[in-house]
């Protein structure tokens, strides 16, 4: 594989974590405009772990995910009673506050005679673990997709397990779920925390791939994009958000067929797609049909 | 009845997606009468009302009002033609004043002076609405909201008034008031076609009854025939004493 | 002591004047959210598109500031009708999420279109007024009121009053409020809800277009970031005041302006934005209904008013 392809695939993989993070909340019926905040926390925390504290990559990635999960649990607890637009805007406010905090954050340590670490709006340079340890682009790609595969397996198990059905039930009708004895608050908090961890893990991977992050990487655009991926690809299965990422980054951004007016094409495409399929390409009905054996006619009924 | 009916519904089918809620309904409403439609929950009564009002589009069948075919018309044309629906649960505009609710009822009318006169007439007929003219409709009691919903519909000067469960959720005394209003409308020449679960109160005012079950009309007759019919008496009037008032099924005062 | 006090007064006044433009943005957001029960993320982008049209006319065709302003409003209205048809009217009412994402996609479209038309990062925009700030001498110090801020405040007040009159006292305003309150109830009275929603979008875009024009004329420059900026300011102000309340939108806009002005004065521009977002988060966590929102909004918005089935 050439360098360009590896780069594109790496990007697709990392953004997929963020898209899955937003998707997990969508399944429980919440729209978050703020998952990029947890992505940022993961990126900065993991980057500080390796670059400033000299931790191994694995530990730093886990720490990034844990820090993001902690923040997500806190935000989740504070916004537990909010729904719909209220929740969406609260998460937006949180993520923007995180971004501006990183604009203000200066934590520089002298390493090999050079200052390293977060430096406000200048960004956080020198997250060089991958280079210093001779991890090649292919190896790193393997790491990203290995982790993504593990996460995806977890999602697929979840969708079939009781907890997956519970989360979807909460998404459709929280009052009904509560009547059935589901502890809605606890389930939502757990989902929010897990979504934060996912975004944080993606952020840590991102920081170590690019070796450099800056606060404006994590603006609202990133968050709304990751939300949109789930809806474009479909809300019926965890493959939906991955498909959404693949279409946008893998197809449109990388092929440069529409360079200069890619967004005009992409925007129009998404708008028309949503008219035809308001729940995305792989929506719940299609997934149901696929699961029941369609088109091979095992179950013809809907 | 010899005169041509004001409203004539023939073989109307209305579906939600693939599920047919009306499976070929035929009935007629004579001018100057009160016609009452009975039936259990889910029989399609509200669907029929919404179809006549133009909110739902029938899949097939004919709806004629004063001889003109209005099937498939949009609500604004139906209202302009002289048919108004007082919907189930009233749907008053809670955040708007009582006066603005009434004026909204006259939305399609351009004759401002006549609208002002009609507003005054509504206040005379429903003094409670005048008292509360500047209050938000959401602050009214259930009975007052029902009066407002009727008055609002009358502001379009309909010749046929459709009413979907006007007694729903109201206390028995208030139900009595509402039915006195309905009888008054008939006296003024407005034809009324209403859906009612509470057949007992309707017996006092209605001229003709229809019973709908599972999307079809299964019985029609005069009040006398309703009282005679063993099955209907049991299901809609309670067993023995057909004429005594009793609380409606959902007796939650609003 | 007197110095501190006069700073506080000056900041508050500046904040109120800038906040008046936030109030206009929040009013536009509230109008469209009210009739749609769905969030139009492209609201700021439509304003940006209008302002860019105005900028293009003034730059390329030497149009005056009045023509530029009219073009900004007209362009915003046209762009908003495109958004309404494509992202809202074409989707079922319950597909709130799809409409939101669709409007976001169109935001991206409009932003790129604007950058294709005017590719530099910033462009100058003609000032509406120029001149020395108005000096006001008080017993304990002197205030300086910037003329462009005064114009902004005056215009915003005039538009707010006009909007209030239209909504409260005209046939159109009553029908619009009825549609917002209960769409099915409105349809039963012969109000064409679809047309009413289009008009609400156009009205909101006109209000937003004027706000965008005032902001551009005050800053004397435009960037494609105007779309994001107006969306965030309008959204924050609307939620601070209380979703669905027009008075709340005005209060939220003014509050946001005042808080920002003080934070900027004491802590600088980055902290200003941080304070605004933390305030919003805290407000939502503690009192989701907003400053003036009705209590029953508490935490959840009403389901869309619509027919059965």
B vs C, Cβ pairs < 8 A, gives 80
| Beta bridge pairs of residue B221 | B209
How far, in Å, CA of A7 to CA of B172, rounded? 74
The CB density around residue C101, as the number of other CB atoms within 10 Å, is 28
Mean pLDDT of C231-244: 90
Class of residue B183 by CB neighbours under 10 A (exposed 0-12, middle 13-18, buried 19+):
middle
Chain B residue with the nearest C-alpha to that of C34 = B95
Q: Residues C66-86: pLDDT tens digits?
A: 898 999 999 999 999 999 999
Which residues, at least 6 apart from C49, have a Cβ–Cβ distance to it below 8 Å?
C75, C76, C79, C110, C113, C114, C227
How far, in Å, CA of C226 to CA of C215, rounded? 9
A279 close to C (CB below 8 A)? yes
Among candidates B105, B125, B127, B227, which has minimal Cα distance to B180? Answer: B125
Contacts of residue B79 in chain C, CB cutoff 8 Å? 188-190
Instruction: Report whether pLDDT(C306) > 50.
Output: no
How far apart are the CA of B211 and the nearest CA of chain C, in angstroms?
A: 22
How far apart are the CA of C196 and the nearest CA of chain A, in angstroms?
A: 21
Give partners of B (≥3 CB pairs < 8 A). Answer: C
HEC string of C227-267? HHHHHHHHHHHHHHHCCCCHHHHHHHHHHHHHHHHHHHHHH
How far, in Å, CA of A300 to CA of B128, rounded? 59
How far, in Å, CA of A32 to CA of C263, rounded? 27
C41 contacts A90? CB cut-off 8 A: no
Helix (H, G, I), strand (E, B) or coil at B21: strand
Contacts of residue C177 in chain B, CB cutoff 8 Å? 93, 95-96, 100
What integer pLDDT is reported at residue C299 of this predicted model?
A: 33
Mean pLDDT of B65-72: 95
Contacts of residue B75 in chain C, CB cutoff 8 Å? 187-188, 190
Instruction: Determine which helix (DSSP H) or strand (DSSP E) holds B160, and give its type and residue range.
Output: strand B160-164
How far, in Å, CA of B198 to CA of B204, rounded? 11
C189 contacts B152? CB cut-off 8 A: yes
How far apart are the CA of A232 and the nearest CA of chain C, in angstroms?
A: 9
How far apart are the CA of C280 and the nearest CA of chain B, in angstroms?
A: 26
Contacts of residue C287 in chain A, CB cutoff 8 Å? none
Helix (H, G, I), strand (E, B) or coil at C136: strand
What integer pLDDT is reported at residue C62 of this predicted model?
A: 83
Among candidates A194, A270, A199, A285, which has minimal Cα distance to A235? Answer: A285
C181 close to B (CB below 8 A)? yes
Instruction: Report whether pLDDT(B153) > 90.
Output: yes
Contacts of residue B50 in chain C, CB cutoff 8 Å? 307-308
How far, in Å, CA of A164 to CA of A149, rounded? 18
**Residue of A162 and A299 predicted with greater confidence:** A162
Contacts of residue C192 in chain B, CB cutoff 8 Å? 74, 76
Instruction: Report whether pLDDT(A169) > 80.
Output: yes
C186 close to B (CB below 8 A)? yes
What integer pLDDT is reported at residue A299 of this predicted model?
A: 40
Q: What is the crossing angle of helices A84-104 and A220-233, to 10°? A: 140
Q: Residues A129-153: pLDDT tens digits?
A: 888 888 888 899 999 999 999 999 9
Q: Which of B16, B87, B94 sits opposite C188 (nearest CB)?
A: B87
Which contacts of B39-42 are long-range, i.e. CB under 8 A and separated by 24 or more positions?
B39/B195, B39/B211, B39/B212, B39/B213, B40/B213, B40/B235
**For residues B193 and B22, is the Cβ–Cβ distance under 8 A?**
no
What is the residue whose two structure tokens read 């990635």? A61
How far, in Å, CA of C53 to CA of C47, rounded? 10
A270 contacts C278? CB cut-off 8 A: no
Summary mean pLDDT of chain B: 90
How far apart are the CA of C142 and the nearest CA of chain A, in angstroms?
A: 33
Which residues, at least 6 apart from A294, have a Cβ–Cβ distance to it below 8 Å?
A300
B53 contacts C309? CB cut-off 8 A: no
| pTM of the predicted protein model | 0.87
What is the residue whose two structure tokens read 């003036």? C292
How far, in Å, CA of C71 to CA of C52, rounded? 9
Q: Residues B211-237: pLDDT tens digits?
A: 999 999 999 999 989 888 888 888 877
Label residue B180 by pLDDT band (50, 70, 90). Answer: very high
Q: Residues A186-211: pLDDT tens digits?
A: 999 999 999 999 999 999 999 999 99
Among candidates C218, C214, C253, which has minimal Cα distance to C76? Answer: C214
Chain B residue with the nearest C-alpha to that of C245 = B95
Q: Residues A44-81: pLDDT tens digits?
A: 999 999 999 999 999 999 999 999 999 999 999 999 88
Chain B residue with the nearest C-alpha to that of C184 = B91
How far, in Å, CA of B165 to CA of B194, rounded? 7
Q: First and final CA of chain A: distance in angstroms?
A: 43
Q: First and final CA of chain C: distance in angstroms?
A: 66
Label residue A293 by pLDDT band (50, 70, 90). Answer: low
Give partners of C (≥3 CB pairs < 8 A). Answer: A, B
C285 close to A (CB below 8 A)? yes
What integer pLDDT is reported at residue A84 of this predicted model?
A: 83
A86 contacts C300? CB cut-off 8 A: yes
Contacts of residue C182 in chain B, CB cutoff 8 Å? 91-94
Retrieve residue C307's tokens.
């027919």
How far, in Å, CA of C104 to CA of C98, rounded? 10
C92 contacts A89? CB cut-off 8 A: no
C192 contacts B108? CB cut-off 8 A: no
What integer pLDDT is reported at residue B3 of this predicted model?
A: 64
What part of C 187-226 touches B (C-beta under 8 Å)?
187-192
Which residues, at least 6 apart from A175, have a Cβ–Cβ distance to it below 8 Å?
none
Class of residue B134 by CB neighbours under 10 A (exposed 0-12, middle 13-18, buried 19+):
exposed
A vs C, Cβ pairs < 8 A, gives 132
What part of A 43-102 touches C (C-beta under 8 Å)?
78-79, 81-86, 88-90, 92-94, 96-97, 100-101
What integer pLDDT is reported at residue B246 of this predicted model?
A: 47
Q: Residues C86-124: pLDDT tens digits?
A: 999 999 888 888 898 899 999 999 999 999 999 998 999
Mean pLDDT of A236-250: 88
Buried b (16+ CB within 10 A) or exposed e, C158-194: ebbeebeeebeeebebbbbbbbbbbbbbbbbbbbbbe
Q: Residues A257-287: pLDDT tens digits?
A: 777 787 888 888 888 888 988 888 888 888 8
Label residue B241 by pLDDT band (50, 70, 90). Answer: very low
Any idea what DSSP says for residue C221?
E
Residue A205 to residues A25, A35, A140, A144, A211, Cα–Cα distance (Å): 21, 15, 9, 7, 10
Pairing outcome for strands B160-164 and B83-86: parallel
Label residue C292 by pLDDT band (50, 70, 90). Answer: low
How far, in Å, CA of B106 to CA of B100, rounded? 10
Which residues, at least 6 apart from C286, have a Cβ–Cβ distance to it below 8 Å?
none
Any idea what DSSP says for residue C225?
T
Contacts of residue A86 in chain C, CB cutoff 8 Å? 239, 243, 284, 288, 299-301
What integer pLDDT is reported at residue A268 of this predicted model?
A: 87
Q: How many CA atoms lie within 13 A of A48 on its CB side?
A: 18
Residue C3 to residues B58, C257, C268, C292, Cα–Cα distance (Å): 74, 21, 19, 33
C182 contacts B108? CB cut-off 8 A: no
Summary mean pLDDT of chain C: 88
Percent of chain B residues past pLDDT 90, beyond the cut: 79
A274 close to C (CB below 8 A)? yes
What integer pLDDT is reported at residue B252 of this predicted model?
A: 39
Mean pLDDT of A173-181: 87
What is the residue whose two structure tokens read 């947890």? A38
Instruction: Report whether pLDDT(A295) > 70.
Output: no
A262 contacts C101? CB cut-off 8 A: no
**For residues C186 and C304, is the Cβ–Cβ distance under 8 A?**
no
Q: First and final CA of chain B: distance in angstroms?
A: 39
How far, in Å, CA of B167 to CA of B176, rounded? 9
B107 contacts C181? CB cut-off 8 A: no
Q: Residues B245-254: pLDDT tens digits?
A: 444 444 333 3
Q: Which of C97, C113, C273 sits opposite A264 (nearest CB)?
A: C113
Retrieve residue A164's tokens.
């997956």
Which of A67-76, A286-295, B69-78, C18-27 has the least mean pLDDT?
A286-295
Contacts of residue B76 in chain C, CB cutoff 8 Å? 190-192
Any idea what DSSP says for residue A217?
G
Q: Residues C240-288: pLDDT tens digits?
A: 988 888 889 999 999 999 999 999 999 988 899 899 899 989 988 888 8
Which of B1-15, B44-58, B81-95, C187-201 has the least mean pLDDT?
B1-15
B94 contacts C308? CB cut-off 8 A: no
Phi, psi of C134 (to 5 degrees): -75, 125
How far, in Å, CA of A269 to CA of B108, rounded? 39
What integer pLDDT is reported at residue A298 of this predicted model?
A: 40
How far apart are the CA of A134 and the nearest CA of chain C, in angstroms?
A: 38
How far, in Å, CA of B115 to CA of B157, rounded? 10
How far apart are the CA of A167 and the nearest CA of chain C, in angstroms?
A: 18
Contacts of residue C285 in chain A, CB cutoff 8 Å? 78-79, 82, 90
How far apart are the CA of C37 and the nearest CA of chain A, in angstroms?
A: 10
């Amino acid at each position: 594989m050439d360098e360009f392809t590896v780069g594109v695939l790496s990007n697709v993989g990392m953004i997929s974590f963020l898209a899955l993070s937003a998707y997990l909340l969508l399944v429980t019926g919440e729209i978050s405009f703020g998952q990029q905040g947890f992505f940022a926390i993961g990126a900065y925390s993991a980057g500080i772990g390796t670059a400033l504290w000299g931790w191994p990559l694995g530990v730093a990635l886990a720490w990034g995910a844990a820090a993001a999960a902690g923040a997500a649990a806190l935000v989740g607890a504070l916004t537990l009673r909010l729904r719909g637009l209220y929740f969406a805007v609260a998460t937006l406010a949180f993520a923007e506050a995180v971004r501006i905090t990183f604009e203000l954050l200066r934590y520089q340590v002298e390493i090999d005679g050079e200052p390293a670490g977060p430096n406000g709006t200048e960004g956080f340079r020198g997250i060089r673990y991958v280079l210093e340890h001779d991890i090649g682009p292919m190896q790193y790609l393997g790491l990203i997709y290995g982790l993504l595969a593990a996460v995806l397996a977890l999602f697929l198990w979840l969708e079939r397990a009781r907890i997956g059905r519970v989360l979807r039930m909460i998404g459709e009708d929280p009052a009904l779920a509560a009547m059935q004895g589901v502890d809605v608050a606890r389930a939502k908090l757990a989902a929010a925390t897990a979504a934060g961890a996912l975004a944080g893990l993606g952020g840590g991977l991102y920081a170590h791939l690019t070796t450099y992050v800056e606060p404006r990487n994590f603006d609202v655009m990133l968050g709304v994009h990751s939300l949109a991926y789930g809806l474009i690809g479909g809300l019926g299965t965890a493959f939906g958000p991955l498909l959404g990422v693949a279409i946008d980054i893998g197809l449109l951004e990388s092929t440069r067929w529409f360079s200069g007016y890619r967004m005009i094409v992409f925007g129009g495409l998404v708008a028309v797609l949503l008219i035809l399929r308001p729940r995305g390409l792989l929506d719940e009905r299609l997934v149901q049909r696929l699961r029941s054996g369609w088109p091979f006619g095992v179950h013809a009924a809907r | 009845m010899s005169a041509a009916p004001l409203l004539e519904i023939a073989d109307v089918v209305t579906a939600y997606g693939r599920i047919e809620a009306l499976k070929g309904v035929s009935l007629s409403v004579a001018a100057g009468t009160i016609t009452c439609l009975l039936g259990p929950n889910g029989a399609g009564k509200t669907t029929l009302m919404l179809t006549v009002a133009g909110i739902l589009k029938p899949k097939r069948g004919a709806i004629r009002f004063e001889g003109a075919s209005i099937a498939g018309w949009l609500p604004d044309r139906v209202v302009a033609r002289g048919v108004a629906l007082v919907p189930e649960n009233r749907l008053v505009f809670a955040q708007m004043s009582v006066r603005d609710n009434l004026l909204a009822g006259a939305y399609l009318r351009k004759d401002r002076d006549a609208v002002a006169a009609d507003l005054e007439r509504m206040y005379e007929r429903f003094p409670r609405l005048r008292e509360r003219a500047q209050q938000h409709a959401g602050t009214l009691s259930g009975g007052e909201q029902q009066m407002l919903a009727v008055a609002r519909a009358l502001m379009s000067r309909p010749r046929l008034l459709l009413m979907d469960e006007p007694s729903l959720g109201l206390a028995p005394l208030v139900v009595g008031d509402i039915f006195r209003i309905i009888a008054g409308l008939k006296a003024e020449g407005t034809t009324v076609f209403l859906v009612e679960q509470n057949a007992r109160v309707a017996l006092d005012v209605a001229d003709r009854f229809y019973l709908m079950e599972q999307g079809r009309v299964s019985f029609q007759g005069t009040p006398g025939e309703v009282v005679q019919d063993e099955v209907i008496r049991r299901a809609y009037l309670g067993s023995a004493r057909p004429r005594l008032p009793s609380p409606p099924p959902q007796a939650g005062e609003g | 002591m007197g110095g501190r006090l006069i700073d506080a007064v000056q900041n508050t006044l500046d904040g109120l004047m800038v906040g008046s433009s936030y109030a206009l943005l929040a009013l536009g957001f509230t109008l469209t959210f009210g009739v749609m029960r769905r969030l139009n993320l492209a609201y700021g982008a439509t304003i940006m598109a209008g302002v860019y049209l105005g900028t293009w006319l003034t730059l390329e065709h030497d149009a005056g500031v009045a023509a530029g302003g009219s073009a900004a409003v007209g362009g915003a209205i046209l762009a908003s009708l495109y958004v309404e048809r494509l992202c809202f009217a074409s989707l079922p009412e319950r597909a709130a999420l799809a409409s939101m994402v669709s409007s976001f996609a169109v935001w991206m479209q409009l932003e790129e279109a604007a950058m294709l038309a005017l590719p530099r990062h910033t462009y100058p925009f003609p000032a509406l007024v120029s001149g020395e700030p108005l000096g006001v001498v008080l017993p304990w110090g002197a205030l300086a009121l910037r003329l462009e801020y005064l114009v902004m405040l005056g215009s915003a007040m005039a538009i707010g009053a006009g909007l209030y009159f239209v909504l409260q006292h005209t046939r159109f305003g009553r029908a619009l409020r009825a549609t917002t309150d209960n769409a099915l109830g409105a349809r039963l009275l012969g109000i064409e809800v679809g047309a009413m929603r289009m008009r609400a979008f156009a009205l909101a875009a006109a209000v937003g277009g004027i706000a965008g024009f005032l902001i551009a004329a005050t800053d004397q420059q435009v960037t494609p970031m105007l779309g994001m900026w107006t969306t965030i300011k309008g959204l924050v102000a609307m939620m601070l005041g209380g979703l669905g309340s027009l008075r709340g939108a005005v209060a939220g806009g003014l509050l946001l302006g005042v808080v920002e002005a003080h934070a900027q004065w004491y802590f600088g521009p980055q902290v200003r934005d941080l304070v605004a977002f933390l305030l919003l988060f805290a407000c939502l966590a503690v009192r989701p209904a907003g400053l003036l929102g009705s209590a029953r909004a508490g935490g959840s918005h009403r389901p869309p008013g619509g027919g059965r089935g």
